[in-house]
Amino acid sequence: MRRVGVRRTLAASAVLAAVVAAWVLLAPRALGGSTTYLAVSGNSMEPRLESGDLVLLRTAKTYGPSDVVAYESDLTNRVFVHRIVRREGNRFVLKGDANSFLDSARPAPSAIDGKLWFAVPMVGSWVAWLAMPMHAALLAGALMGLLLFAGSGTAVYRRRRGRRKARPLASTPSPPSAGLAEQSASAVPNRSWIDSALALSGAAFLAAAALGLFAFSRPTETETTRSAPYRESGVFGYSGDARAGVAYPDGRVDTGEPVFLRLVDELRVSFDYRVEAESQVDAHGEIGLAAVLSGAEGWKRTIALQEPTAFTGTATTAEGVLDLRRLSGLIKRVERETGVVHESYELTFVPQVDLLGHVGGAELSDSYAPRLGLRLDRTTLQLDPADGAAAPTRLRPARDRTAEVESVQPAAVSFFDRKVSVGALRRIALGAGGPLVLLCVALGLLRLRALRGGEPARIAARYGHLIVPVSASAPDALGSTVDVATMEGLARLAEAGSRPILHAQRQGAHAYYVEDGGIVYRYSSGPALEAPSEEAEAAARLRLLRRHA
């Protein structure tokens, strides 16, 4: 017994160590582990990874070029498994091995879900199939049915096997001192199929109840806010015909060059506008262009170059013609009327863009009015030298914007990187819990019916896994008999010595025996069994001696 106990302890320790090691290595991140499971879809990582493969990724302290990692794109809400090409600042540039282009997303290290550990070919398709709530429910039901039938069949098989071993046609001789318990130890069957089925059904119902408690404690919908970034940019331009000469050899003045008022009469001004985003943009709106002339004391006059005009699409242009002679004449009239003369004035080109539409599912409602300042004096119009920004920056303004998407979506829970809605979990819990309740009630009624058959039926229901039926005279023929007051006490003796309980029945009387060290302990239910006759005792002893001969 000590050797058996040591072996069992070592085996249990080995199993526990294996379970702990498996949990540390393979526990999913959704349950607090460090491993991410993904099913590959697409061919962007061929030939290393193919569609349908199951990849396991583990978190790492650092990531660098050539690492195959997983990240979730904020633009598409999809998870990609691609290779890191390089690092730009605090962002990674990634690319699929089979792709000819770089990923548009630039995830930060905190957005990386893990580095590729290993891949299992074609298993990902099965995991994706099992992640569907209906498929998981069907598989759980099938496994439950198999376990129920397997438990019932195993119990019947062991009972039959036990009866065959209890009455062998021939056996290997063993010492008579081994006793009746050792002869019948292998005949002890498992508990009845009703108890096994009831225990299994109860465990399944508890699992369904736990799932239901988890699902019904969470809302079915959740409000989410998602950012949809976009970029607005433009290009200022001006040009005009000029008198050819030393100042303008080709007879033209172009963007960035000073405009000499004596040589240029009109100036064509334009602003090319564009809105861009990595997600789809559906844009429309209005665009206008104006020139604003202002003096140092705050005087201001606005000259419309293009009235607000509707446009559709992600790019448009506003343009107009500025008459420089009329502009100089306006300045002279203001100076005559006010008596205030300035050495220079500020002329600012101001486009006005009112943008509407959608970007990445988010609603657009924005206004954009960049400014290009120029200095106008008696002879020259040129980019304002007081503005410290470089000319290319002033001529090409741009800004990054973000639109917020607020929506109500079904709440979901992640299992193996597959999201299952809370509503689906509720339906699974209710769909499985109802039949399990009925099954538990039916099995409970069967067990109650068995218990109503009197004390022998209750004993059979409670201790059926220990009981072995024998002939009425066999136990009393083995030696002295000690009566036990309760069946519970007899069962404790049987379990303490790993002995079977022998059950003898004749004419409505039931007796239960446990043999230990040559002493037979007995509990009687109903009328006591008649003591065996001397002939029956002699016959029983003769059969026992022949068996060990």
| Average pLDDT rounded to a whole number, residues 304-330 | 94
Q: Is 330 helix (H, G, I), strand (E, B) or coil?
A: helix
Helices (H) and strands (E) in the chain, counts: 11, 25
Give the integer Cα–Cα distance in Å for 147 and 281.
55
Closest CA to 436 of 200, 215, 138: 200
Q: Considering the entire predicted model, what is its pTM?
A: 0.42
Determine the pLDDT at residue 236: 95
pLDDT, greater one: 10 or 86:
86
In the predicted model, is pLDDT for residue 441 greater than 90? no
| Average pLDDT rounded to a whole number, residues 501-505 | 86
128-143 confidence digits (pLDDT tens):
555 555 555 555 556 5
pLDDT, greater one: 458 or 237:
237
Percent of the chain with pLDDT over 90: 26
443-456 confidence digits (pLDDT tens):
777 767 666 667 78
Closest CA to 52 of 138, 143, 132, 123: 123
Determine the pLDDT at residue 288: 96
Q: Where are the beta strands (DSSP E) in 131-280?
A: 221-241, 252-253, 259-260, 266-276
List CB contacts of 32: < 8 A, sequence separation 6 or more: none
Percent of the chain with pLDDT over 70: 72
Neighbours of 140 (CB within 10 A): 15
| Average pLDDT rounded to a whole number, residues 63-76 | 84
Backbone Cα Rg of the chain = 45
458-473 confidence digits (pLDDT tens):
787 778 788 888 876 6
Mean pLDDT computed over every residue of the chain: 78
Least confident residue range of 51-60, 420-429, 475-484, 489-498: 475-484
Q: Which helix (H) or strand (E) holds 301?
A: strand 300-312
Determine the pLDDT at residue 175: 36
Determine the pLDDT at residue 181: 37
In the predicted model, is pLDDT for residue 56 greater than 50? yes
**CATH number 2.10.109.10 is the correct assignment for the domain at 25-127:** yes
Confidence grade of residue 259 (pLDDT, cut at 50, 70, 90): very high
Determine the pLDDT at residue 213: 79
Domain ranges of the chain: 25-127, 131-172+186-220+412-452, 227-409, 457-549
Determine the pLDDT at residue 187: 35
| Average pLDDT rounded to a whole number, residues 40-46 | 84
In the predicted model, is pLDDT for residue 386 greater than 90? no
In the predicted model, is pLDDT for residue 389 greater than 70? no
Determine the pLDDT at residue 227: 80
Tokens describing residue 397: 């303004």
Determine the pLDDT at residue 387: 66
In the predicted model, is pLDDT for residue 530 greater than 60? no
